[in-house]
Structure 1
């Protein structure tokens, strides 16, 4: 259950599509390198920290609070919660796109629908979802099983059908298709894409608040991380390989990031003479998967923010929970911030531009905050006598610290280069527009994070 819930937040078929458009077949080499040099250490570091603090409900917030103090705990809680919000907007956007494909059977929604209607439907998805999450106590677990399980199964199906297609003599659409095509080029484009690559494979710590709900969290949580690493490696490497078979990596559609997953299953159906069967299987799977992501990200993120942050830094209304223990006002604050981000991004010319900019925004803010996870690991390993764990990632303390610092520096570098827009011609009007949004939207989140403690301080003074 933990591995499937985590898989929903870490990787999906869309994540492969996004980076395939940025890098082409070279992304396979990128995935392999990052799997070895980042993903496996990252997910086992999460396992180590989860085993070190098995009874804490705040996840990363708890880890930082115990290692660096209450104030740093609040900063981490706010930062980690707020970075999930652009991705929540992206997920809600993707849900609207999935519904458009379900109704129309094609990509015509982006031509028929205005940016304003797209934004309105995205906001409506939030409201309906939060109502259902509030009313149905077990919706998180149900959606995680259905969404995570279904997405992993259809990805395996896609890979299997690719092997069958090649076995019957099918043509590979990307040429040349050899080992040399998979080797990454370490150029400026690679650096600009690195943040989105890391964003595609991070998020496993979102599940940490549930470690204390496991029967034997300190032993079983690391096992879930091992399983997650295997699932992530399979999906990224073989999924990208399959895309290179059905798509010409040198001539990709401009809207591939928004509609590429649907094009992929539509192309496979055409190659096998099965019409839109595979397409509609994926559309339904995608809708379930996106709803599962909303469930885990909204609930898990709110728990991280509210469950273990020093109360001095938060207004009281944010800590209110309903009869099911859900932080309902935290949900509504989530909706407000997501709406502001969506309205700002809706100033871009087209729906495809909105989708791409919101997606790339995640590649900026997410790696910055993920670096805090490695900081917590470094602090824990520097004081082994104080922070003891049943599971130890790398028993040699010096080597463990080297790995921790490597991951910390890598995420900082990736986030910084991702500020430069990758989906617009350099120095064009659209490029400048996207660059401004890449700076303004994170600034809005930071300012709001400063305002909340000031409100809490005002409440305390008023009570006195």
Structure 2
């Protein structure tokens, strides 16, 4: 459940549905077999190869290659979580707005400034709560992850029930032709968001030491994760097509789509808005669980296993509860930078969509390190032992790992193309510039940390 809440949620099927329509079902099925299952089994092998390393993905790269690449992995892993943390905090606000307002009028009632300030306040509150309450991560993950999966399954089953009892299918025509992808530049530029929606399995690696029998339990957990992801993406998308016309989707579908879906489902079953309100509560708990996991796990990776030459000592300082407090401060600062950047956008819906799109760039770039680490380990496989091996044939393993790395990198790069604005418009140019600035700032700051550490070491030597 800790892994599930960080990888896939009910709302993750909405923005691919808006971007690719009904053809996204084919995309989900292709990705499941060609990408997700290999990816999660690669994570199984890597986690069990380095099951005593606290840094997770950073440890995999560092041990498989060198300290410099290990540092860059830890930096990119940490910094890629910042846009997602902001995005999840936005979703918390949206879920509470539906709880209290019962409709989609948040965009009309709140300015972009106050939306940003409230998002920042939620991030700060969660950082403080994680340092006060023990076991909050496990409790929120169990409750949020379990409730969200139940709600997702319930939506799929009730949608099927409604159609079998006479409810019309909104997407027409509903035939094989509707499922065929249109292989255009826009199609491939939105695939990074699908990778973003299905990635994150490696986030559980630092917690593997807490399992009773990692050798057998962790690969089983990854298979279960793949099955849960497949069910939610494929059948969830089909259920959406029952209530929404894939050819005419509301403009705010990515932000408010899940609430529209449960409202329409409730109406078709004669239950009014009750299902929507239940979902809003579950979504709030689920998003808060995501926020807790992201803030905790990403900071652990950054402070857990990075060579002494790269990270200033003040960044790895921990408080009495073992929390990397200065990592949290950096997270807050970069979140504020993103929120100030989004303040230039015209409305809350545009902010929400842009943050999703930036995640579709930064997150896949980070995921490339998973496959790089796997390739490095399998290239030198005589040096490493694992209780689980994905593809025993070395050549086959290298081919699969290479395919996953190349595919991820290309999709991340194509993600720079703005998806919510037409080419040649001011909105397109602005969002393209924002995408470039964000990636340069978030990744570029990684060059500064080794310079600060070098200065620290000079001072340490002068004091001796």
TM-score (norm 2): 0.98
CA apart distance, 1:180: 2.5
Equivalence for 1:103: 100
Equivalence for 1:258: 255
**d(CA) in 2 for partners of 1:135 and 1:246?**
43
CA apart distance, 1:407: 0.2
Structure 2: any 5+ residue segments left out of the alignment? none
Secondary structure, counterpart of 1:25 in structure 2: helix
Between 16-25 and 345-354, the greater mean CA deviation after superposition: 345-354
1:59 touches 1:304 (CA, 8 Å); kept in 2? Answer: yes
**d(CA) in 2 for partners of 1:115 and 1:156?**
34
Q: Does 1:427 align with 2:424?
A: yes
Between 307-316 and 150-159, the greater mean CA deviation after superposition: 307-316
Which of 373, 376, 380 is the aligned partner of 2:373? 376
Q: Does 1:49 align with 2:38?
A: no
Equivalence for 2:87: 90
**d(CA) in 2 for partners of 1:317 and 1:283?**
40
CA apart distance, 1:167: 1.5
Which of 163, 187, 197 is the aligned partner of 2:160? 163
**d(CA) in 2 for partners of 1:12 and 1:270?**
23
Equivalence for 1:437: 434
Residues 396-422 of structure 1 show CA distances to partners (whole Å, capped at 9, x for unaligned) of 211111100000000011011110001
Equivalence for 1:9: 6
CA apart distance, 1:100: 1.1
Structure 1: any 5+ residue segments left out of the alignment? none
Between 390-399 and 434-443, the greater mean CA deviation after superposition: 390-399
**d(CA) in 1 for partners of 2:108 and 2:270?**
28
CA apart distance, 1:42: 0.4
Equivalence for 2:337: 340
Q: Does 1:454 align with 2:446?
A: no
Equivalence for 1:20: 17
Spell out the pairing of 1:208-357 with structure 2 (5 A cutoff).
208-357=205-354
Equivalence for 1:60: 57
Secondary structure, counterpart of 2:5 in structure 1: helix
CA apart distance, 1:185: 2.3
Secondary structure, counterpart of 2:351 in structure 1: helix
- Measured on the aligned residues, the alpha-carbon RMSD in Å equals 1.0
Q: Does 1:198 align with 2:195?
A: yes
CA apart distance, 1:270: 1.3
Q: Does 1:78 align with 2:48?
A: no
Equivalence for 1:128: 125
1:54 touches 1:218 (CA, 8 Å); kept in 2? Answer: no
CA apart distance, 1:275: 1.0
Q: Does 1:403 align with 2:400?
A: yes
Secondary structure, counterpart of 1:111 in structure 2: helix
Residues 417-464 of structure 1 show CA distances to partners (whole Å, capped at 9, x for unaligned) of 110001111110001000000000111112321112211111111122
Which of 91, 102, 111 is the aligned partner of 1:114? 111
Which of 148, 151, 155 is the aligned partner of 2:148? 151
Structure 1 residue ranges, 4+ long, deviating more than 4 angstroms after superposition: none
CA apart distance, 1:187: 1.7
TM-score (norm 1): 0.98
**d(CA) in 2 for partners of 1:190 and 1:429?**
22
CA apart distance, 1:331: 1.3
